[in-house]
Structure 1
Amino acid sequence: MADSPAAEHALADWELRDLLRAAAPRLAALPLTLLADGWDNTIWRLGEDFAVRVPRRAAAAPLIENEQRALPEIAPRLASAGVRVPAPLVCGVPTDRFPWPWSVIPWIEGGSALTAPRRQNASWAPALAAALSALHSPAPADAPHNPVRGVPLQNRDEAMRSRLPASAEAAPLRDAWELGVLAPPSTERVWIHGDLHPGNIIVEGTRLVALIDFGDVTAGDPAYDLAASWLLFDAPGRSAFRAATADRYDEPTWTRARAWAAYISLMLLTQSDDRPDYRAVGLSTAEELRAAD
């Protein structure tokens, strides 16, 4: 990943307080601390129980809109599986002062699974399986559309093959991809997270706490989310994950999921030069794909 682009509209704390006074007066006086200034969004801690998610460039505004549209519908399903999501508590709307939507969300304690050992992640593999089984329900006609995530593999075939190196080391990625392209396509159109990698999974010790960052939420093939089992788990963990889905997904879906894991691995390997933690996930995922499941 290249250096993050410059903010097109950066908010000072007093400007954000003005937005809060207009949209959520009861929260406006709480302590406000800048936590992260990422690629798409700025995250502020608001008091003890809340955070504010603010787009920093126009391209990120639709991602906030996606979350505001989808998460109120999705959150109860995930809650039934014991997993939290940052469903907006306040949906800020564009104004003359700030041109894009923004959200107040609940603060969720825990840390990402980005650097957790794969063998440790196996302890919550069944919990993630239950969460995804709950999430993957039929999506309505007005669900957000994503042209890349959860689409038929054939739609990304040219992009994938153009990035695959000719080296022998890339053979497992190529093989997984080609098998997925040959598999029967999905007949489902369900809610999917759309960006389910270890950095978007919140854990506390051996417990799965939350799934976050639903900006790419969309309707599509559940195989895209199931690819996370190769990004997160070792072979025993994947076995536990798959067993816990209770035959919810057919064999072609798992074949497509493995292909998507190869796709995501390659993206992490070729676009994460400034993020060694994400590149490490790409490398370890490629190693898992080399192993026979």
Structure 2
Amino acid sequence: MHADQVDVSVDVVSALVAEQFPQWRGLPIRPLTSTGTVNALFRLGPDVVLRFPLLPSANPELRAELRREQEYAVLLAAHLPVEVPEPLGLGEPGDGYPGPWTAYQFIAGETAQLGRIGDLDDFAGDLAGVVTALRGIDTGGRVWPGVGRGGPLAAEDADVRAALAVSGALTDTAALAEVWQRCRDARRDDLADGWIHGDLMPGNLLVRDGRLVAVIDLGTVGVGDPAVDLMPAWNMLDAGSRETYRRALGVDDATWERGRGWALEQAINALPYYVETNLVMAAIARRTLRAVLE
């Protein structure tokens, strides 16, 4: 998917585990099929999942990011009404892999593709419960750090317009440009930042028996505009359950439009990038863009 990504083999993973986590030496390791775009995943025995960034680096910033992600997992687990991956370890660079990596408790479930979700209204209510719980966590005075999702949509304008410029053969860019301008300019009367997941995509939500049971992939968790976590209204829900989600969260018109803008921003950047390398991500992007035009 990425020109400079590192492909990780089972043999490399096995050697790193044996050296750094001898208590797990000898446990079977198998790669997990994933449509994710950030990590290669491996199942270690029955209870552990290993996450290897596709773009590893020895830069201390990556290690700090992975450590922060694990700290946030502990924080969220104490507040959310669904499961959150429990951190089990932070691996170091080694032979065959030049960066840090992580280990988490495995959570049984399937990613939240539409055919696996039972009742969409129930799912929308469950997801709203997660977002409500996120919003209720004390930020301790934290604010948006100035990078990543959660700041003003205007900061994303150049990237969105660049993606629109190369997507004319893929989607209705003229209509999307009009929607983007409206969303980008939606006011924000409540300036209080809150905790956000930041990437509530189908692949980051797990279901069992059709119901939401876990939120995973916490790399984008942080503090920012709560409108970011409205993205599932367009990337996953239909018109009816979209309204259920909105009512459950008590969202005003301006916040709703910013949420639409965040969904558009994610999808229009993903579509041209993954159109040939990740068909699932490209399909989600297309569905999202159709929904934001409704």
TM-score range, shorter chain: 0.7 to 0.9
Aligned to 1:65: 67
Aligned match of 1:31 in 23, 28, 33?
A: 28
**How many angstroms apart in 2 are the aligned matches of 1:283 and 1:200?**
18
Residue deviations 1:180-207 (CA, integer Å, cap 9, x gap): 2222235122111122111111112420
Residues 40/283 of structure 1: CA separation in 2 closer, same or farther (3 Å cut): closer
**How many angstroms apart in 2 are the aligned matches of 1:55 and 1:71?**
17
Q: Do the aligned partners of 2:143 and 2:224 also contact (CA within 8 Å) in 1? A: no
The equivalences for 1:1-293 within 5 A come to 1-2=1-2, 5-7=5-7, 11-21=12-22, 25=23, 27-35=24-32, 39-56=37-54, 57-58=56-57, 61-78=63-80, 81=81, 83-88=82-87, 90-92=88-90, 94=92, 100-114=99-113, 116=115, 121-136=120-135, 137-140=137-140, 145=145, 147-165=147-165, 169-185=172-188, 187-245=191-249, 247=250, 249-273=251-275, 274-291=277-294
Q: Do the aligned partners of 1:224 and 1:257 also contact (CA within 8 Å) in 2? A: yes
Residue deviations 1:202-242 (CA, integer Å, cap 9, x gap): 11242011111111212111111112211010100101111
Q: Tell me the amino acid that sits aligned with residue 6 of structure 2.
A: A
Q: Do the aligned partners of 1:230 and 1:288 also contact (CA within 8 Å) in 2? A: yes
SS at match of 1:48: coil
Q: Do the aligned partners of 1:119 and 1:237 also contact (CA within 8 Å) in 2? A: no
SS at match of 2:269: helix
SS at match of 2:41: strand
Q: Do the aligned partners of 2:142 and 2:223 also contact (CA within 8 Å) in 1? A: no
Q: Do the aligned partners of 1:121 and 1:232 also contact (CA within 8 Å) in 2? A: no
TM-score, normalised to structure 2, is 0.82
SS at match of 1:108: coil
Q: Quote the offset at 1:257 in angstroms.
A: 0.3
Which runs of no fewer than 5 residues in structure 2 stay unpaired?
A: none
**How many angstroms apart in 1 are the aligned matches of 2:89 and 2:64?**
13
Q: Quote the offset at 1:62 in angstroms.
A: 4.5
Residues 187/92 of structure 1: CA separation in 2 closer, same or farther (3 Å cut): same
Residues 258/117 of structure 1: CA separation in 2 closer, same or farther (3 Å cut): farther
Moved more, 168-177 or 66-75: 168-177
SS at match of 1:223: helix
Residue deviations 1:157-193 (CA, integer Å, cap 9, x gap): 1221232249692244223321222222351221111
**How many angstroms apart in 1 are the aligned matches of 2:25 and 2:7?**
23
Q: Tell me the amino acid that sits aligned with residue 251 of structure 1.
A: D
**How many angstroms apart in 1 are the aligned matches of 2:19 and 2:253?**
53
Which runs of no fewer than 5 residues in structure 1 stay unpaired?
A: none
Q: Do the aligned partners of 2:205 and 2:215 also contact (CA within 8 Å) in 1? A: yes
Residues 182/213 of structure 1: CA separation in 2 closer, same or farther (3 Å cut): same
Identity of aligned residues (%): 29
Q: Quote the offset at 1:46 in angstroms.
A: 2.2
SS at match of 2:151: coil
Q: Do the aligned partners of 1:31 and 1:46 also contact (CA within 8 Å) in 2? A: yes
SS at match of 2:241: helix
Q: Do the aligned partners of 1:51 and 1:106 also contact (CA within 8 Å) in 2? A: yes
Question: How many residues are aligned here?
Answer: 281
**How many angstroms apart in 1 are the aligned matches of 2:2 and 2:49?**
26
Alignment RMSD, CA only? Answer: 3.1
Q: Do the aligned partners of 1:230 and 1:289 also contact (CA within 8 Å) in 2? A: yes
Q: Tell me the amino acid that sits aligned with residue 270 of structure 1.
A: P
